[in-house]
Amino acid sequence: MKISKAEFAKGVIGDDYTMKDNLPHIAFLGRSNTGKSSVINSVVGKKDLVRVSKIPGKTREANFFRINDSFYLVDFPGYGYAKRSISERNKMIKRIFWYLEFSKARPKAVFLIIDANVGLTALDRDMIKILGENKHQVVIIANKIDKLGKIAAEKQLSLIKKEARDIPVLRYSAKTNEGKEELIKKIMSFVYG
């Protein structure tokens, strides 16, 4: 199955009708500047569906994108951006956890986007632990793989996979679309599987 239609549905801060229309959700989480918005644009084949900024911390609400009129991709604010106030960071983290744990719109899967150059950080490991404790299906997307040479990329992916244990890890480049077909198949398997 391919993505033939993608449109912005709504930016959400709390409980909203978007979460009650019975369409499945696929959540995209990650630290600031890992390329969450760019990955979504790449997957849907539109350069401007999701606003992309070089300034970390621009996404401030959960942005819902309706795909093929049959499910949502949900782009969350990045966690861990240090230049925000502590209270603002805490509010965003609370929103993410509210959605993941308490909303009626439990996602079919959570795709955790990391920077392949950096690997898993302490914040990523904490997020993986929390997602696991709450029985979420998790897939790690190692984005920006194009910035590494072939040998360095294989070495870094091996380290990430070792640390991720049983969690699937997909190599990805939002810039070159490397890994796009595999990611779409994985998303569709959660939505329709």
DSSP track, 28-79 = EEEBTTS-HHHHHHHHHT-SSSS---SSTT---SEEEEEETTTEEEEEPPPB
Sorted by where each starts, the structural domains of the chain and their CATH numbers stand as 6-192 (3.40.50.300)
Please report the pLDDT score of residue 53 as a whole number: 59
User: How is 113-129 classified by DSSP, letter by letter?
Assistant: EEETTT---HHHHHHHH
Per-residue pLDDT tens over the stretch 128-184: 998 898 889 999 999 999 999 999 999 999 999 999 999 999 999 999 999 999 999
Q: Which residue has the tokens 């299906």?
A: 137
Please report the pLDDT score of residue 118 as a whole number: 95
Q: Are 157 and 24 in contact (CB under 8 A)?
A: no
Beta bridge partners of 75: 28, 63
Sheet with 71-75: strands ordered across: 6-12, 62-67, 71-75, 25-30, 109-115, 138-143, 169-171
What global pTM score does this model have? 0.89
Q: Give residues with Cβ within 8 angstroms of 152, minimum separation 6.
A: none
Who wins on pLDDT, 141 or 76?
Answer: 141
Structure tokens given for 88: 């603002």
Q: Are 128 and 164 in contact (CB under 8 A)?
A: yes
Distance between CA atoms of residues 111 and 187, nearest Å:
9
Please report the pLDDT score of residue 17 as a whole number: 55
Average pLDDT, stretch 105-126?
93
Average pLDDT, stretch 96-116?
83
Structure tokens given for 91: 């509010």
